[in-house]
Amino acid sequence: MPKVVFTPSGLSGEVPEGTSVLDAARRLGADLDTVCGGRGICGRCQVTVSVGDFAKWSITSTDAALSPPGPLETAYHGARALVPGQRLGCAAAVRADVVVDVPPASQVHHQVIRKDLDLPALVVDPLISMHYVEIARAELGDGRSAADLLTVALELQHGVRARCVTAPVLRHLHEALRSGRATAAVRDGDVVGVWAGYVDGAYGVAVDVGSTTIAAHLCELFTGQVVASAGRMNPQIRYGEDLMSRVSYVMMNAGGDRVLTDAVRRAVDELVGELLAAAGQRRDSVVDVVLVGNPIMHHVLLGIDPTPLGQAPFTLATADPVGGPATDLDLDLPFATFYAGPCIAGHVGADTAAAMLAEGPHRAEAMQLLVDVGTNAEIVLGDRHRQYAASSPTGPAFEGAQISCGQRATAGAVEAVRIDPHTGRARVRVIGAPQWSDEDGFAESIAATGITGVCGSGIIDLIAEMYLAGLLDADGTIRGDAARHCPDVEADGRTFRYVFARDGERRLTLTQNDVRAVQLAKAALRAGIDLLVEHAGSPVVADIRLAGAFGAHIDPLHAMILGLVPDCPLDGVRSVGNAAGAGAVAALLSRRARAEMEQAVRRVEKIETATEPRFQELFVHAMALPHRTAPAPNLAALVDLPPPRHGDAAAAGADGSRRRRRRDRCER
């Protein structure tokens, strides 16, 4: 009997002469895709003969080892075009010893890399399988149901023994089987979808439900392709800027939990509709939905009362994954099943679990710090041996709330600031305008929007630059004596404010209260980080990853100057974008990734900042810029940090100027 070797798997064995390549792959366990079951319709089983002498297997392989193309291939007009030089595995028969290469597009478990989502290489491992079947017509008196006809066809034509046909499928079954040909989706022995005729693929949606924004990705489950992405503001914002405000709304308003649940479910369903419209797909093409979010969003979306999470001991209803029909969440997806990821603790949710899956602190050889900066910062520190997690109540200051001229990151918002250390004058860059404010064309670029406020990344830049320029003390006080050389420092009652931008007669200022709000937020975040570092034995952390929409736009150097993150080499701090969304996509596309996330969560040691006696002390130290007690040798090598002041005496010269070291970095 001829010997067949499949690459890249290396699986090999002998098969009877005349066996199709597809059947040989099935016998030997090789990873070769098919939906039509060998009818020459889907084109998923394309292979290539590897020609040459292969001493490893003692085989000489030639094109003649497979039967010549017959009518099925020469007249092929299937769903996927036949690639020149490739053969249909269902049509090509084995005639002699042969080495058969299965290209990535023909593998069920192939690798995909989603660089736009910052995903590592991912092996697609679908939770469902698709099977095209031809259905025998029911005869009067035989007593077989439509479900019986479908399950018998699946077993006879694909060797798939279906346990049951789910209720949503039964509602569409007669219509799908009317033509005698149908495609069924099977998941863990259950028929979870059915469509008339041949259907080539199926889709899933990964959703990151954040307290501020909701982001979603539509994915083809077998290719791993992200075919559409979209996002929108979370409509719950009208009931409270931060999570605790929304919990308070539920506590103070009868039926408030239902109001919040309806709002977020409607937003998710509309977002899914946008994705499907962009991809030209129908709602019944979606068979899987993965949802992640912080614990309060998780509970509200599932229709669970979130009020226990608003007060000690912050008890989750469940930390385990939750699943069921998508229609249970008011999603108009008749064949879809939802999977809400596992939570870690009362304020560390499934979004953090998904971010862990994407960034892999539990896989790292050295300590990795993963921080999702938002209204409630989630922090994970760990390596492959141990992981710790905590949350810190940063509040909405980083998103522009509680700041006198703060706003969200929309057109017209100041997103970056640089201050001349000699004059104390600021130049800014505004979302929607490519130029800096001191460059030609700036006024024309902002003509439609003007300068409307400052968003989170601009706030971080502004305070860090003021500190470097000597306009702000390490304790966060705007220096009144700086007004002698910088007219943009103005008296504001008993304190001072700083004018950092002008738009016609309008002036944008940073007040002393604004600085304090940011200090409180950053101190809460940094204290949570320092607490985890202490629990881990105070290791050196040189791999810091900033996740989330806000973290994606933070200048790493300014984050270190502000003291948001511990001192480390600058190239050790990087933004990773929506890591939670990336992890949700991974869990959608891979059964193994989903299992990895669940296992990783169970190993995490949860640290509750509210009950840790050291938290308050660490918080006080973290109020200073960059930090009251922690050394910053890496930062000091990059910039000239202002020397400490004694009392009210300025440590700088009379003009308060500071020399800035040249920094080789891009100005965003």
Query: Residue 456: pLDDT band by 50, 70, 90 thresholds?
Result: confident
- Residue 290 clears pLDDT 90, i.e. is over it: yes
Q: How far is CA 449 from the centre of its chain?
A: 30
| Cβ atoms of 332 and 570 closer than 8 Å | no
| 243-253 pLDDT per residue, tens | 778 888 888 88
Q: How far apart are CA 351 and CA 245, in angstroms?
A: 20
| 532-586 pLDDT per residue, tens | 999 999 998 999 999 877 777 788 999 999 999 999 999 999 988 889 999 999 9
- pLDDT over 90 for what percent of the chain? 55
Give the E-state strand segments of 264-363 in sequence order: 286-293, 322-325, 337-340
543-547 and 573-577 strand pairing: parallel
Task: Give the angle subtended at the CA of 631 by the CAs of 627 and 637, to the nearest 5°.
Answer: 105
Q: What is the mean pLDDT of residues 419-438?
A: 93
Please give the C-alpha separations between residue 409 and each of 215, 229, 244, 363, 519, in angstroms, as whole numbers: 15, 19, 22, 33, 20
Question: Phi first, then psi: what are they for 533, rounded to 5°?
Answer: -60, -40
What integer pLDDT is reported at residue 664 of this predicted model? 41
Q: What is the mean pLDDT of residues 645-656?
A: 41
What integer pLDDT is reported at residue 426 of this predicted model? 95
- Residue identified by tokens 């390490």 is 474
- Residue identified by tokens 């694909």 is 158
- Going 153 to 154 to 156 to 161, the CA torsion angle's sign is negative
- Residue 437 clears pLDDT 80, i.e. is over it: yes
More confident residue, 408 or 434: 434
| 110-151 pLDDT per residue, tens | 555 443 566 656 778 889 999 998 887 777 667 788 898 899
- pLDDT over 70 for what percent of the chain? 93
State the SS3 of 468-532. Answer: HCCCECCCCCECHHHHHCCCCEEEECCEEEEEEEEECCEEEEEEHHHHHHHHHHHHHHHHHHHHH
What integer pLDDT is reported at residue 37 of this predicted model? 79
What does pTM read for this prediction? 0.81
Domains of the chain: 3-106 (3.10.20.30), 129-196 (3.10.20.880), 359-392+518-631 (no CATH), 398-516 (no CATH)
| 170-207 pLDDT per residue, tens | 998 988 888 889 999 999 999 999 999 988 889 999 99
Alpha-carbon Rg for the chain in angstroms: 30
Nearest to 286 by CA among 384, 186, 219: 219
286-293 and 322-325 strand pairing: unpaired
